[in-house]
Amino acid sequence: MTGWIDAALPYARLWLDYQVAATQLPGCAVAVVREGEVIGNWAFGLADRESGEAMTTDHRFRVASHSKCFTATAILKLREEGRLHLDDAVGVHVPGLAPDVATMTLEQLLSHGSGLHRDGRDASFWISETAYLDKAGLRAELQDAATLPTDSRFKYSNIGFSLLGEVIEAITGESYGRWVQREIVEPLGLTAIVPDLPLADGTPMAVGYSSAMPAGRKPLDARMSTRAMASATGFISTAADLARFFGALAPEAERSVLLPASRRDMIRARWMMPELGAGRGYGLGVVLSQVAGQAAFGHSGGFQGFITRTISVPAWKLTVSVLTNAIDGPAAPLAEGLLGIFAKFQEWGPPEPEVADWYGRWWSLWGAQDLVPMGNRVLVADPAGFEPFALAAELEIHDATSGRVAKAAPYDNHGEPVARQLGADGKASLLRLGGMTLKPQSPLL
């Protein structure tokens, strides 16, 4: 039964709308995909603050390190075709590397166990002071010895994934972007994804912005090619197509460019990082996590003006992508918050008819509280929190106008009455939650 997923969608959108406003994001695009179908596709705020252009679900974002999963998918597809092995030394495919770099295996590069520099000796391209590395610049970086012994620890490396792009070119005899577009992107029908700029004329792309501090948000130039680093950070996408791509990598996905065995191998942990939280680790080009009590995989991305996050939960056959056009955008907590909302609806189930009408947002001087019907109860959520149901009270509903706080946090109003006042149109116009009076609109407006 997946009715709880459909029941969660309206509140997921309502919560996101509050969050985008509360965090003062310029804009945000969010997609929810289940079994390959886009069931939620939403846009909030502005794609361009200077012109006032509204964000749409067609706007493209730089999704940066999500690119690594496309690269890992390409390597695994080449393995399926018998054109490489993961234990191949990279020097077998790419000549002219420093001796210790040449002996690194493809699996060590895919899992960030190579020990290579994260971004090279000069990473000024991340602050738009230099161009991204071209092939000559990348090869120059690869003449240096690794900074750590291979397989000594997890060490994230954009240089390592850029080198994997060179591997793909050497084996296929084509440019990285052309081969990946034809063999990985197009077979899945992902028309909004490209490995790097340029975009076709007329394609809408969100403007990326700096952080709010210290001088207020400023537009940042993200319309540059990532050149030889596209396999690490070049990709551009909508939220919907990005979520569809990651959903197609779940082991049980019906449509994919990889065999199930390769998909299982991709999400098998090579490194665990307990210092980041339970279940946090890395597979082959994918971030592993435990979200809302479920094993999950996906990736994050950071580019000038863009922070993005995708999480796929195989047990639910569900993937969410959250794309923000601000360098301090809370994409990860928003994605995890969304899955927390889905988890709460899974726990309680869709609302029963006698409580469904209690749905709505209520305001007081202290802010908003959301009444969210689930099962035979109404939960009181905090839309300002990244975990809106963390301390949610449970309301036991007696009839259309009355109920009782059946369960609440220690400092809340456990056991007290709940009452609604209905207008002539049958809509609730006043809510009394314990001793507090709330209205459908903020008293500060």
Domain boundaries, the chain: 24-329, 353-438
The rounded distance, in Å, linking the Cα atoms of 255 and 87 is 28
Give the pLDDT of residue 445. Answer: 62
pLDDT of residue 187: 98
Tens digit of pLDDT for each residue in 94-134? Answer: 999 999 999 999 999 999 999 999 999 999 999 999 999 99
88 CB-near residues (< 8 Å, 6+ apart): 105, 106
CA dist 92 and 167 (Å) reads 9
In the predicted structure, residue 441 carries a pLDDT above the cut 90: no
Which candidate, 245, 336, 265, 303, places its Cα nearest to that of 107? 265
Is the pLDDT at 144 greater than 70, yes or no?
yes
* CA gap 118, 112 in Å, rounded: 9
* Choices 3.90.180.10, 3.30.1490.20, 3.40.920.10, 3.40.710.10: CATH for 24-329: 3.40.710.10
Q: What is the pTM of this model?
A: 0.96
Give the 3-state secondary structure of 4-65. HHHHHHHHHHHHHHHHHHHCCCCEEEEEEEECCEEEEEEEEEEEECCCCEECCCCCEEEEEC
Q: What is the pLDDT at residue 215? A: 84
What is the structure's pLDDT at 268? 98
**Among the listed residues 401, 404, 369, 407, the one whose alpha carbon sits nearest the alpha carbon of residue 385:** 369
Tell which residue, 271, 319, 315, has the closest CA to residue 299: 319
* Cα-only R_g, the chain: 24
Reply yes or no on whether the pLDDT at 295 is more than 90.
yes
Question: Residue 26 above 70 pLDDT?
Answer: yes
In 3D space, the residue among 231, 134, 123 whose CA is nearest the CA of residue 177 turns out to be 231
Place of tokens 């730089």: 62
User: Which pLDDT band, with edges at 50, 70 and 90, does 145 fall under?
Assistant: confident
Could you tell me if 24 and 209 are in contact, meaning their C-beta atoms sit under 8 angstroms apart? no
Residue 203 binned pLDDT confidence (cut-offs 50, 70, 90)? very high
Q: Is the dihedral of CA 317, 241, 63, 146 positive or negative?
A: positive
| pLDDT on residue 227 | 98
Stretch 160-187: mean pLDDT: 98
Q: How far apart are CA 377 and CA 358, in angstroms?
A: 10
Interval 304-355: pLDDT, tens: 999 999 999 999 999 999 999 999 999 999 999 999 999 999 999 999 999 9
Tokens at 201, concatenated: 């004329």
